[in-house]
Amino acid sequence: MTEVKSPEVPAPPAAVPDELTPGHARWHGLRPYAPLAALVVAAILPYSTVNLPGIFEGPLNSPGTLQLLAICLVFGGLAAGYDLLFGRTGMLSFGHALYFAAGVYGTDVLVTRAGLPLWQAALLTVTGGTILAALLGAVALRTVGIAFAMVTLAFAQVGAILVARDFGGLTGGEEGLPLDVSGLPAALVGVTNTVNLYWLALAYLALVVLVVHRVSGSPTGRVLAGLRDDERRIGVLGLDPYRFKLVAFTLAGGLATAGGVVYCLIVGGASPHVTSSELTLSLLVMVVLGGPGTRWGPVLGGILYMYLDHRLTAFGTSDAVNNLPAFLSHPLSQPLFVLGTVFILAVYFFPGGLASLRTRLTPLTTALRRR
Amino acid sequence: MSTVILLTLTGLGLAALYFLVASGLSLVFGLADVLNFAHGLFLGVGAYATWWAAGNLPGAGADGLGFVVAVVFGVLAGSAVAVLVELVLIRPLYSRTIEQVLVTVGLSLAGVALLQATWGADARPFPRPGWTRDVTSVLGAQVPNAGLLLIVAAAVVLGALLAFLRFTRYGLIIRAGVENREMVTALGIDVRKAFTLVFAIGGAAAALAGALGSVYFGTVSPGQGGSLLIFAFIVVVIGGMGSVVGSAYAAVAVGLLQQFVNYYGTSGLGDLCVVGLLAVVLLLRPQGLAGKVAHA
């Protein structure tokens, strides 16, 4: 151990900027439009009746598939928002689930218990969640590094306790609180309208990606990247690290709350699971699997993680796994075991996540092409 | 009066549980800078190994000497898993703090899932000696014996740890390493051996907490470690990272506060007070009660 021990957590590996990665010259001019094309494809996806056996249970436009896709999209957006903290500012927060849960429970309680119309409930919830993030961030950011991680974890634990103990009979405790759909707009209710929820989730994802993209491209974003790489230097330059970190924390909290609102509508209620620290840990897993600090890495990571989390359960009970010997089939039937193992392997062998896969494969493909 | 004594003693029992988990976490963090999310896994391994040994290991059982054998087996298993984790997973990543946290996070997810896959998600009845189900009368309060057992075990572990840190050569290296690792390395001492050692000690303490905690609760389940771990983290931060004595003080404070407020206030309020205590300590004294020095 020769390096100097610093109290702060070292930043996650910096991402390779897009312009440095070699691309095919022919497609280079079209690259800026690729996200737009992906958005259009995703938006018209529900009109397709293609059946993908093994990947989804029903055709693409069946409600079950659309709901799974919508959940995946929400978590893609959530991971992108979390990356604003972890990958772009270098803050290791273990309490991000709190703001997501605030969105889920806030909407649910305001609609079901207080009987507010959805738009008011959503507006109040997002505002409240953002204020909550600002207040808690103001306290938590007085610490740095591991201590910051611990404080955010503790705050999130308060949320989990409040929900589980069911103070005042608001949250429904362990059973959760199903959403009262009678006051909701008709377009968002019922199995046949799942497609609208899918579009809502897609819109949320697009919003988060846009916001994160705009922020990280702005002067503020450059300060945030500076904080990740060398906080002391930002201080020496005369900028206040605390204020910038609080901005990032509040923004990420607000985005997570909005994600909670959408999630609450998709699954039609709230369950205590969303307050668990496990959810924050899985957000971390998503971002690291996808590639921290990149534009599309966290989104892909979030979508893939949620997809695997749902589908591996089916995979675990399939015949192919059940026919294996017990010492193999039992662990494989646990999605978290598979995901945790993949995650550990990714930390060792793919530190840049999915987003770095292409640059890693480039030497291989060029070598193959030369033959 | 007897209520106060009962609450104090059960609070101390809870504190003992927190201390057993937190002491290892604190030493590992102080020396090696590893925030170990997999510590709950060591606890689970200890609990399940004890449970398994009591039923299957020859010579072990649920009563008398057999129970001691079972607990020893559980502690050894927890310690072995901790050493294995350190050697295989943590060692290649030293000085890369974020990656270490990530690996232990992955390990805690995968490990708990593995326990769940092997023995099912439901809580299982834990074999425990008959006398731990009884109560002892202390100054008019009926205190469960399992709680007293935890307190005694934690006190013994605390004494042994302090003696180890103060009177042995490795204890000296650990204390020095917590204070200034670079200097110890510069003096030509291989700190990595000490890393493995603190992992072994921490794993053993956590496994003991798992075994005795299961006796206290009467059941064993895969998720048990996770909920304890969060409070153990809080204890470590309040006590000051790297300080065994600080962990002990903080564990007592947290355990008593939780027990008393949960009894006199609404259930769950004590947990909130603990987090409030954490916030206050961090704002007034960010380095924790004892700071980053391994006091012996």
pLDDT in tens, B69-88: 888 888 999 999 999 988 88
Q: Are B150 and B13 in contact (CB under 8 A)?
A: yes
Statement: residue B220 has pLDDT above 90:
no
Of A20-29, A74-83, A321-330, B250-259, give the lowest mean pLDDT range: A20-29
pLDDT value at position B291? 60
How far CA A285 is from CA of A81, A123, A209, B54, B184, in Å, comes to 14, 30, 19, 37, 35
DSSP string, B239-265: H-TT-HHHHHHHHHHHHHHHHHHHHHS
Segment B154-165 shows an average pLDDT of 90
Query: How close is the nearest chain B Cα to the Cα of A344, in Å?
Result: 5
pLDDT value at position A251? 93
Contact A143 B102 (CB under 8 A): no
Distance CA B288, CA B281 (A): 7
- Where on the phi/psi map is residue B265: left (φ > 0), alpha (ψ -120 to 50), or beta? beta
Statement: residue A254 has pLDDT above 70:
yes
pLDDT value at position B182? 83
**Strand partners for A270:** A177
Q: How confident is the model at residue A20 (pLDDT cuts 50, 70, 90)?
A: very low
Which H or E run includes B144?
A: strand B141-144
Distance CA A369, CA A317 (A): 42
Contact B97 A9 (CB under 8 A): yes
Distance CA B254, CA B276 (A): 11
- Measured at the alpha carbon of residue A14, what is the angle toward residues A13 and A20, in degrees to the nearest 5? 130
Tally the C-alpha atoms within 13 A of residue A59's C-alpha that lie toward its C-beta.
8
Q: Which two tokens stand for residue A287?
A: 């971002």
pLDDT value at position A5? 43
Closest CA to A307 of A96, A73, A59, A82: A73
Q: B284 CB near a chain A CB, below 8 Å?
A: no
Residue A168 burial class via C-beta count within 10 angstroms: exposed 0-12, middle 13-18, buried 19 and up:
exposed
Record the pTM. 0.82
Domain range B2-284, CATH class: mainly alpha
Of A92, A153, A337, which has the smallest distance from its Cβ to B233's Cβ? A153
Q: Break chain B into its structural domains and give their ranges.
A: 2-284
Q: Break chain A into its structural domains and give their ranges.
A: 58-370
- Measured at the alpha carbon of residue A23, what is the angle toward residues A21 and A27, in degrees to the nearest 5? 145
Q: A95 CB near a chain B CB, below 8 Å?
A: no
Q: Which of residues 87-116 of B touch A (CB under 8 A)?
A: 89, 92, 94-99, 101-103, 105-114, 116
In this predicted complex, what is the ipTM? 0.77
Distance CA B26, CA A123 (A): 43
Work out the percent of chain B whose per-residue pLDDT is above 70: 95
Statement: residue A34 has pLDDT above 60:
yes
E strands, A219-301, are 269-270
Closest CA to B217 of B115, B117, B136, B144: B144
**Strand partners for B144:** B135
Closest CA to A185 of A124, A105, A118: A118
Contact A146 B35 (CB under 8 A): yes
Q: A146 CB near a chain B CB, below 8 Å?
A: yes
pLDDT in tens, A210-220: 999 899 889 98
pLDDT value at position A258? 94
pLDDT in tens, A69-80: 899 999 999 999
Closest CA to B109 of A335, A272, A230: A335
Contact A336 B113 (CB under 8 A): yes
Of A329-333, B67-71, B247-251, give the lowest mean pLDDT range: A329-333
Statement: residue A8 has pLDDT above 70:
no
pLDDT value at position B60? 67
Distance CA A172, CA A142 (A): 34
Q: Which two tokens stand for residue B271?
A: 């947990």
Q: A326 CB near a chain B CB, below 8 Å?
A: no
A343 contact residues in B (CB cutoff 8 A): 102, 105-106, 109-110
Q: Which of B31, B98, B100, B274 is the mutation pick for testing A, counting most A CBs within 10 A?
A: B98
A348 contact residues in B (CB cutoff 8 A): 92, 103
Segment B158-181 shows an average pLDDT of 86
Per DSSP, chain A holds a count of helices (H) and strands (E) of 16, 2
A3 contact residues in B (CB cutoff 8 A): 95
Contact B275 A158 (CB under 8 A): yes
A278 contact residues in B (CB cutoff 8 A): 109, 226
pLDDT in tens, A263-309: 998 888 888 888 887 888 888 888 888 888 888 888 988 998 888 88
> For chain A, what is the mean pLDDT?
81
Q: For residue B208, give every residue at least 6 positions away whose Cβ sits within 8 Å of its Cβ, in sequence order, or none.
A: B20, B46, B71, B74, B75, B78, B153, B157
Segment A8-26 shows an average pLDDT of 50
Size of interface A-B (CB pairs under 8 A): 137
Q: Which of residues 223-242 of B touch A (CB under 8 A)?
A: 226, 230, 233-234, 236-237, 241
pLDDT value at position A26? 60
Distance CA A256, CA A252 (A): 6
Searching chain A, which residue's CA lies closest to the CA of residue B280? A139
pLDDT in tens, A149-201: 878 888 888 888 888 877 777 777 777 788 877 777 777 777 778 888 888 99
Contact B106 A164 (CB under 8 A): no
Q: A351 CB near a chain B CB, below 8 Å?
A: yes
Segment B199-208 shows an average pLDDT of 90
pLDDT in tens, B2-36: 788 888 888 888 899 899 888 888 888 877 777 88
pLDDT value at position A3? 42
Q: A344 CB near a chain B CB, below 8 Å?
A: yes
Handedness of CA A271, A272, A275, A280 (dihedral sign): negative
B101 contact residues in A (CB cutoff 8 A): 92, 149
Of A10, A142, A336, which has the smallest distance from its Cβ to B110's Cβ? A336
Cα Rg for chain B, rounded, in angstroms?
A: 19
Searching chain A, which residue's CA lies closest to the CA of residue B191? A1
Of A1, A150, A337, which has the smallest distance from its Cβ to B181's Cβ? A1
With respect to CATH, is domain A58-370 assigned 1.10.3470? yes
pLDDT in tens, B112-138: 888 888 887 777 777 777 776 777 777
